[in-house]
Structure 1
Amino acid sequence: MHPHPAFNIASVSNDIRTALQAKIDSKTKPLGALGQLERAALRIGLVQQTLSPALNRPAVLVFAGDHGIVAEGVSPYPQAVTYQMVLNFLAGGAAINVFARQHGMALRVVDAGVNGDFDPHPSLVGAKIGKGTRSFLSAPAMSREQCQQALEKGAALAKAEIAAGSNVLGFGEMGIGNTTSAAALMSIFCGLPPEQCVGRGTGLDDAGVQKKAAIVQQALALHGLDPSDPVGVLAAVGGFEIAMMAGAMLGAAESKALLLIDGFIASAALLTASRLAPEILDYCIFTHCSGEAGHTRLLNALGAEPLLDLGMRLGEGTGTAIAYPLVQSSVNFLNEMASFESAGVSERED
């Protein structure tokens, strides 16, 4: 057995499932007519263990970190873009800023391991583990201790957000090179060949994608990883921001909050988290299917049913913010819509 941080996540109790489903079914609509919104309402009611769920103080945590693997040419963008984009987040100019503002979601930008220093800023959480990971083609991306530290810091950050009144958290990331890390994690945990996991990332051509798959293949051969040791796998091929996001997801589920899962990288963080505590999946709403090639397979591995498929592949938690109004709609219909009985509407006769 390999030691790893103990996350004590309770499976969601099904005691009120029948009552919740009955409440959903009694609304003035044909059975199942609200489709995925009904399944989301059921999930949220089960997470909150109530027939009248509420969404409080939604927040998006965006974790940023740099990746040594960028030196191997896995991205068309230079590493400096991670630092520059964090400044863009702090200035309010990125896509996640626009969508979080639109939907009244608080935004926290977490420096998990960017290769650069930032001045203090009200939206910035300094949690730097190191100035970027090592290239996992030559060494483990981080030490086991750094990985544990990232997981624990992430959990503490999520719990602080929840202690301040949030019960729904979205998770996003920024890190040039991080789709390569995510593809490596997926390949190991899903037992899939790298070519079924890698995609274009921020815009690779066909030759770039092949090269990326070869790099992941080489890394997996080098480290000889054991999927039953999730912390070892994460330390070898992960990123500081992916590890910290996984920890934040685990901490949020431990506190019984609702988790909004973004695209490919966030799903890879969740996949890793689910190998530490499988019960975490009870707390998740999958906001969208990303345009990144491996995401559909990754969602299938997680048994996920994403709300949206808009061909988005931006990261930053943008999928969680875009889908948030649908999550609100699922709660609102459950709480506000009349039942056949209360509205005096006749039910089906068959």
Structure 2
Amino acid sequence: MQLLQETMEKIQAVDQEMMGKARERVDALSKPPQSLGKLEALAIQLSGITGELFPNIDQKAMIVMAGDHGVYDEGVTTNPQNVTVFQTLSFPRGLTGVCAIANITNAKVVPVDIGVKEDLPTDAGVMIKKVKYGTDNMAKGPAMTREEAVQAIEVGIEVATEEIKKGVNLLGTGEMGIGNTTPSAAILSVIHDCDPLEVTGFGAGVGAGGIEYKAEVIRKAIALNKPNPQDPLDILAKVGGLEIAGMAGVILAAAANRVPVVIDGYISTVAALIAYKLEAKVKEYVIPSHASEEPGAKIAAQLLDIEPMLHMNMRLGEGSGAALAFPILDAACSMMKNMATLEEAMLLLK
């Protein structure tokens, strides 16, 4: 708990003075006002996060948290649970969707075993930070203890901080865990105070009972465990996931170190919501990537008051949407650095 507390206390508001300077430069660039749309807002946000007029984001890393879920036993998905192991071991080999996309921007992918049900080989290229062998079945009791939830968040903090120490200046969040849209919907329905059916979707493959059954499992878990809507750690412990907690930790660490963090779709946005409930200032450091096809994704984004920049009908997860957004951030930085203001252009033409 000490690392989590220290990290939250370290988070400061973004640099408003630098954002003002960035806004002045953007408005002075040789273009019609607001003609580059969201790219302008991104450039200003990056300046506020980094405290630099010309931000540098040339060292990128996707941190992918992997964990299993006890609620899988309730038949909420058709996918075999061992897919979590298979995919987690595929990340270091560069064979997954996020790896293929991250590769085009020279972003490294950092896979982390935070709660895979099986032991992974220690020489497979996966960082072993296992808190436990998957969460417990939330339909029969709490998914984990409060201490385990804190430990999982702190794993995310540790991994992200270590990457930042190595020089990483742009982070992305990703996850792997068969069944993890179920705890995501559970967390969101508690925070949003809505019926689970409103935020429950198909996921990677809904079980034989369909979405209605999946929502009923969540409804049962919430009624049984009674998570406190005002306590994000209690929500995580009662109905959450280890990889969701880990991603929340990554987001908190990014904010504490003034590093921008690009979040993926539904599950990453729920993790960002947990981080925001722990420390509201993290929102200023979060950059949304794509609008997931999962129904709860839109609601989670609305609760955070963020707007995804990409609409690609994606729902893969892994951080694929975050990696896809990286080139847009590169473009925002290039606009600030390489585009001339009207005054600069006139001087050059003399």
Counterpart contact for 1:107–1:123, Cα < 8 Å: no
Instruction: Give the distance between the partners of 2:4 and 2:161, measured in 1 at CA.
Output: 16
- Report the alpha carbon displacement of residue 17 of structure 1 after superposing the two structures with TM: 2.5
What is the Cα deviation at residue 5 of structure 1? 3.5
Q: Which runs of 5+ in 2 are unaligned?
A: none
- Between Structure 1 and Structure 2, which shows a larger proportion of helix residues? 2
Give the distance between the partners of 1:149 and 1:4, measured in 2 at CA: 9
- The match for 2:133 is 131
Q: Which of 300, 308, 323 is equivalent to 1:321? A: 323
Write the distance in 2 (CA, Å) between the matches of 1:97 and 1:121: 19
User: Alignment partner for residue 144 of structure 1, among 123, 143, 146?
Assistant: 146
Query: Greater CA deviation, 336-345 or 162-171?
Result: 336-345
CA distance in structure 2 between the aligned counterparts of 1:319 and 1:257, rounded to whole angstroms: 19
CA contact (8 A) 2:112 2:129 kept: yes
For residue 310 of structure 1, what is the amino acid of its counterpart?
Answer: M
Secondary structure (helix, strand or coil) at the match of 2:56 reads coil
2:262 is matched with 260
Q: Displacement of 1:4 after TM fit?
A: 9.9
C-alpha separation between the residues in 1 aligned to 2:317 and 2:300?
A: 15
Matches of 1:145 and 1:18, distance apart in 2: 42
Q: Which runs of 5+ in 1 are unaligned?
A: 346-350
Residue 218 of structure 1 and its aligned partner are, at CA, apart by 1.1
The equivalent of 1:288 in structure 2 is: 290
Query: 68, 78, 81: which is aligned to 1:79?
Result: 81
TM-score by length of 2: 0.95
Q: Distance in 1 between matches of 2:193 and 2:43?
A: 33
User: Cα distance, 1:87 vs. partner?
Assistant: 1.7
Of residues 9, 22, 25 in structure 2, which corresponds to 1:23? 25
- Indicate whether 1:340 and 2:350 are aligned: no
CA distance in 2: counterparts of 1:174 and 1:107, whole angstroms: 13
The 3-state SS of whatever aligns with 2:17 is: coil
- Which residue number in structure 2 is paired with residue 188 of structure 1? 190
> What is the letter of the counterpart of residue 59 of structure 1?
A
Which of 158, 162, 165 aligns to 2:164? It is: 162
Q: For 1:116-151, what per-residue CA distance to the aligned partner results, in whole angstroms no more than 9, with x for missing partners?
A: 111124631100011111110111011111111111
1:89 has 2:91 as partner:
yes
Alpha-carbon deviation of 1:3?
10
Deviation at 1:254, TM superposition (A): 0.8
Distance 2:203 2:185 in 1: 10
Deviation at 1:207, TM superposition (A): 4.9
Task: Kindly indicate whether the alpha-carbon contact (under 8 Å) linking 1:4 and 1:148 is maintained by their aligned counterparts in 2.
Answer: no
On the 8 A contact 1:52/1:335 being kept in 2, the answer is yes
Give 4+ residue runs of structure 1 displaced > 4 Å after superposition.
none
Mean alpha-carbon deviation: is it higher for 203-212 or for 92-101? 203-212
Q: 1:20 to 1:295 in 2, by over 3 A?
A: same
1:185-208 deviation digits (Å, cap 9, x = unpaired): 111112222111111001338951
Partners of 2:66 and 2:204 in 1: CA distance: 16
- Bigger mean CA deviation after superposition, 271-280 or 11-20: 11-20
Q: Please say if residues 64 and 114 of structure 1, whose CA atoms lie closer than 8 Å, have aligned partners that are also in contact.
A: yes
Count of equivalent residues:
344
CA shift, 1:248, in A, is: 1.6
CA distance in 2 between counterparts of 1:140 and 1:320 reads 30
State the Cα deviation string for residues 167-188 of structure 1 (Å, max 9, x = none): 1100100001100001111111
On the 8 A contact 1:90/1:121 being kept in 2, the answer is no
- The Cα shift of 1:72 comes to 0.4
Q: Which residue of 2 aligns with 1:237?
A: 239
| Contact 2:141 2:221 survives alignment (8 Å) | no
Aligned pair partner of 2:222 in 214, 220, 224 = 220
Deviates more, 1:314-323 or 1:94-103: 94-103
Q: Secondary structure at the match of 2:295?
A: coil
Q: For residues 231 and 3 of structure 2, what CA distance do their matches in structure 1 show?
A: 8
Q: Deviations over 1:204-241 (max 9, x none)?
A: 38951111111111111111121211111101111111
Partner of 1:348: none
1:234 & 1:69 partners in 2: Cα distance? 14
- Aligned-partner Cα distance in 2 for 1:3–1:85: 33
Pair 159,3 (structure 1): closer, same or farther in 2 beyond 3 Å: closer
In 1, Cα distance between equivalents of 2:124 and 2:317: 22
Shift of the 122–335 alpha-carbon distance from structure 1 to 2, 3 Å rule, reads farther
- Aligned match of 1:178: 180
The equivalent residue for 1:33 is 35
- % same residue: 36
Structure 2 SS opposite 1:226 = coil
CA-atom RMSD in angstroms? 1.7
Per the normalisation by structure 1, the TM-score is 0.95
What whole-Å deviation, never above 9, does each CA across 1:290-323 have from its counterpart, x for those lacking one? 1111111111111112110101000000011111
Q: Relative to 1, partners in 2 of residues 1:15 and 1:223: Cα closer, same or farther, differing over 3 Å?
A: same
Amino acid of the structure 1 residue aligned with 2:211: V
Contact 1:56/1:165, CA 8 A, preserved across alignment: no
Q: What SS does the corresponding residue of 1:46 show, helix, strand or coil?
A: helix
Aligned match of 1:310? 312
